[in-house]
Structure formats: C-alpha cells, structure tokens
Amino acid sequence: MLTMIFFVVALGSGFAAGQPGDVAGAAAAPTVVVDETAPVAVPEPTEQALRYYRSGNWLWVVEQVWSITVLVVLLATGFSAALGNVARRLGRSWFFTIVIYVTLFTAITTILDLPLSYYAEYVRQHAYGLSNQTFAKWFGDSLKSLGVACLVGALVLWLPYLLLRRCPTRWWLYSAVALAPFIVVASLVAPIWIAPLFNTFAPMHDKALEAKILALADRAGIEGSRVYEVDKSVDTKTLNAYVAGVFGTKRIVLWDTILKRMTERELLFVMGHEMGHYVLGHVWQGIAFSVLLMLGSFYVAYRTAGAVIARFGGRFGFTNLADIASLPLLLLLFSGFGLAVTPIELAFSRHIEHEADRFGLEITTASHSAGTAFVKLQEDALANPRPGLLYKLWRGSHPPLGERIDFVNAYHPWNSGQPLEYGDKFKR
Ligand SMILES: [Zn+2]
C-alpha cells in the first residue's frame, strides 16, 4: 500500500530509467551547428556496463527474495502477532494500536533491509563510480524516508483496517475507493512537502535557457509552467529530469547534472519529452492506473487471505484479517500480485514514455540532438542499450535506449511533409 502511493508519485515522470551515471565532467557544451537529420549510432556497451547490468539483475532477484522472506519470517514465527499485542498494550485505543504497530513494523523492516540497501544504494554505486553521495547524506536520507513511511502508514492504514472490521465482504472495494483521493493528495504534496526534505530545489540559474524552455512550454499549450533545478549532484552522477505534481504543484524538474552535461538542443528535446507527459495526460493516467492496481491488490488479498489464515493461522497467531498483525500477510499477497502484474504496469509505462519521446521529437524536430542525449544517458548510466526480454518485462520502465535511438533515427514525418501525430496540440 505504501509502495503504491510512492509508485504514483514516481510514475511516468523520469526521463531516464533511473540508473545512476558517470558524468565525464564536461562543462556546458559550446553551441555548435548540429545537422538534425544525421542519424546517431547506438554505442556498444562497455565491459563494465555489461557487468553492471548482469550484477544488477542478480541484485534485483536477491532484493525480491529478501523482502518476501522477511514477511514470511515475521508471520511464521508469530513475531507479527506479538508486535500486535505490544501495540495493543501501548496504544490502548483501536486507532493508536494501528499507529504504533505501523511505526514499529516500518522501523523493524527498515532495519532488516538496511544492509542490503546500504550495499545497493551506497557501496555498489561508489564501486562503479556512479555516486557522489557521502555516507552521512545516505544515512540521513534513509532516516528521513523511514519517517515519511511511518507518517504515511499511520495516515492511511487505519482506513482499510476499519473497513475490514465493518464490511468484511466489501472492504476491498471500499478501501480502494476511499484511498484513491489519498493518491491524488500524495501526488499533489510530494513535490512541495516530500522532495524538498531530500534535496534543494531552486529556480533555474540559466535565465536564457529558462526563457527558451518557457517558450517551448507555451507552444505545447502549457500555461503557468514552472521549471526547477535540483542539486542532485550531491547524490549521484546520473542525468535525469522529471515531471511531478498535479493542479497548482505541477512542475518540471531538471537535475543539475543533466544541465551541466547536455547541450541546449538536447535539453530542449528532454523538456519536450517532459511536456509531452503533461499535454498527453500521463500524470492522470498514472494516477488512474495506480488506483486500478490498488483495487486489484485488495481484491486478490480478499479472495486468498481467508484460505491462508485457515491453513496457517495457528502458526501466525491471529485468526482474523482485521487484526493489525495481518499486515505482513497483506503485504505478502500484494507483492505476489504486484510481481504478476509488473509486466503490464511496465508495458504501460514504456508506452507513455515512447509517446513522450514522439511528442518531444515533433515539437523540437531535434532528431540528432535527441539521439546524442540518449547516448549520453546510456554512457553515463552504464546502461545496456539492448537488455534481455526478462529485464524489459519486469524492470524496463522506459523503452531500452537502443530502441529509443532507433526511433529518433527513423521517425521524422516533418521532413517529408507528413502530418504529425500531435501537431494539433501545438500552438503556431
Ligand atoms: Zn518520461
């Protein structure tokens, strides 16, 4: 449930697939005349990039197995039931029992996950030369994430547990309906309340570039757009940009690393891609998709939890799903459903990313600059431009960079006077 709320906050927004990258330390590139009709070759991945790709796949498997193992152990040893009893003693009332259980559970699972996340987020990124983060920043960010997770859990989890008690046969439907507005609120406040806990956001320093971006936004029909730059260089050498927020908090955010590394034309293509997400309604589509996923998760839990409790309830130490001690069981069922539907979720994500690429190309007609932007992403992120099918199905939120470069080389209807897919959305 918590992950689902964070999922929507991150969905369909990033420009890159989110792997850290090794910037070659280039200063802002000089303006050169670019032949936008020249195709761009997909570079062969280096030996180091292939090593990063293969070890990353194994790490992903280990992380999945670990998170499932932790939940099974907390259930099967009766630890969760004991934690529920502690929460009842300390909390006294039903509501505070839930708040205390959620806080303790989140803290304990975070501690159990800490060695693996320390390796994945800190040690490994430094070993591949992809990170700028100090240990203090990593640890501080981990503590802040824990605080946010506890708070969000305490704010939302009482709702499905209340409905589990009151409406044992319809709780899954009512919970999804009741939590849908929370997803919208999370999308609304994440860029102004959560993201600034971790990094500093500021107006763009380069005013000339900002003016060009705002002119592009105007052509894309986006009014009152806000563009921010964020000091991600304290964390990573990766390049990225993303859209976030809804209503009054919608914005485009550029990492300072991408501003430093890419040329103006490359950046304008990236901005065109991000604007495409807004104009094509991807943020709202992502929210709707998250609500559907939540409904599916709740329904699967509703249909299966009873049989699991009937079979193992004695060992778990609880007999009713409405007992807060069932949280690890619910999360286990959610992650089983989540793994099964990940290929659908990611296919949707790759589809909207592909359409955002098309939008960015059509509004800028900067084919060559788009291609070289992707090459920089690939090289700086140690990305594999042509990953295997399993990677694509279970991990590929964006089309592989090789396919994105192939597309920008092949797609240029404006050269032959053919109609644009999104031409009617541009202001003349
Ligand atoms: Zn995107």
What tokens were used for 20? Answer: 């850290």
| Separation between Cα atoms, residue 232 and residue 236, nearest integer Å | 6
**What tens digit of pLDDT does each residue of 400-425 get?**
999 999 999 999 999 999 999 999 99
pLDDT at 238: 86
Give how far Cα 281 sits from Cα of 12, 77, 276, 293, 355, Å: 10, 46, 8, 18, 11
Residue 59 CA to residue 384 CA, distance in Å, equals 16
Confidence band of 26 (pLDDT split at 50, 70, 90): very low
pLDDT greater than 70 at residue 4: no
User: Nearest CA to 398 among 7, 3, 13?
Assistant: 13
The confidence band for 6, taking pLDDT boundaries of 50, 70 and 90, is very low
What average pLDDT does this structure show over 361-369? 97
State whether the Cα torsion 43-44-46-52 is positive or negative: positive
Q: Is the pLDDT of residue 167 over 70?
A: yes
The mean per-residue pLDDT over the stretch 236-255 comes to: 92
Cα distances from 426 to residues 215, 363, 366, in angstroms, run 12, 7, 16
Banded model confidence at residue 19, pLDDT cuts 50, 70, 90: very low
Question: How far, in Å, is the centroid of ligand 1 from the Cα of 399?
Answer: 10
Would you place residue 14 in the very low, low, confident or very high pLDDT band (cuts 50, 70, 90)?
confident
Confidence band (pLDDT; 50, 70, 90) for 288? very high
Residue 256 above 50 pLDDT? yes
Average pLDDT of span 231-237 = 95
> Ligand 1 centre and the CA of 396: distance in Å?
12
Confidence check: pLDDT of 65 > 60: yes
Q: How far is CA 87 from CA 82, 162, 314, 316, 320, in A?
A: 9, 16, 20, 16, 17
Does 274 participate in catalysis according to the annotation?
yes
- pLDDT band, residue 397 (cuts 50/70/90): very high
Answer yes or no: pTM beyond 0.85: yes
pLDDT on residue 33:
79
Residues with CB in 5 Å of ion ligand 1: 353, 356
d(CA 3, CA 7): 6
- Residues forming beta bridges with residue 241, ordered by sequence position: 254
Q: What is the pLDDT of residues 297-337, one digit of tens each?
A: 999 999 999 999 999 999 999 999 999 999 999 999 999 99
Residue 13 CA to ligand 1 centre (angstroms): 5
pLDDT of 20 higher than 50: no
Catalytic member of 121, 274, 345, 362: 274
Consecutive H or E run containing 254: strand 251-255
Mean pLDDT of 53-82: 97
Mean pLDDT of all residues in the chain?
92
User: What per-residue confidence (pLDDT) applies to 30?
Assistant: 52
**Cα 274 to ligand 1 centre (Å):** 6
Are residues 336 and 89 in contact, defined by beta-carbon separation less than 8 angstroms? Answer: no
Q: How confident is the model at residue 32 (pLDDT cuts 50, 70, 90)?
A: low
Structure confidence by residue, pLDDT tens digits, 131-159:
999 999 999 999 999 999 999 999 999 99
What mean pLDDT is predicted for residues 195-200? 97
- Ligand 1 geometric centre to CA of 273 (Å): 6
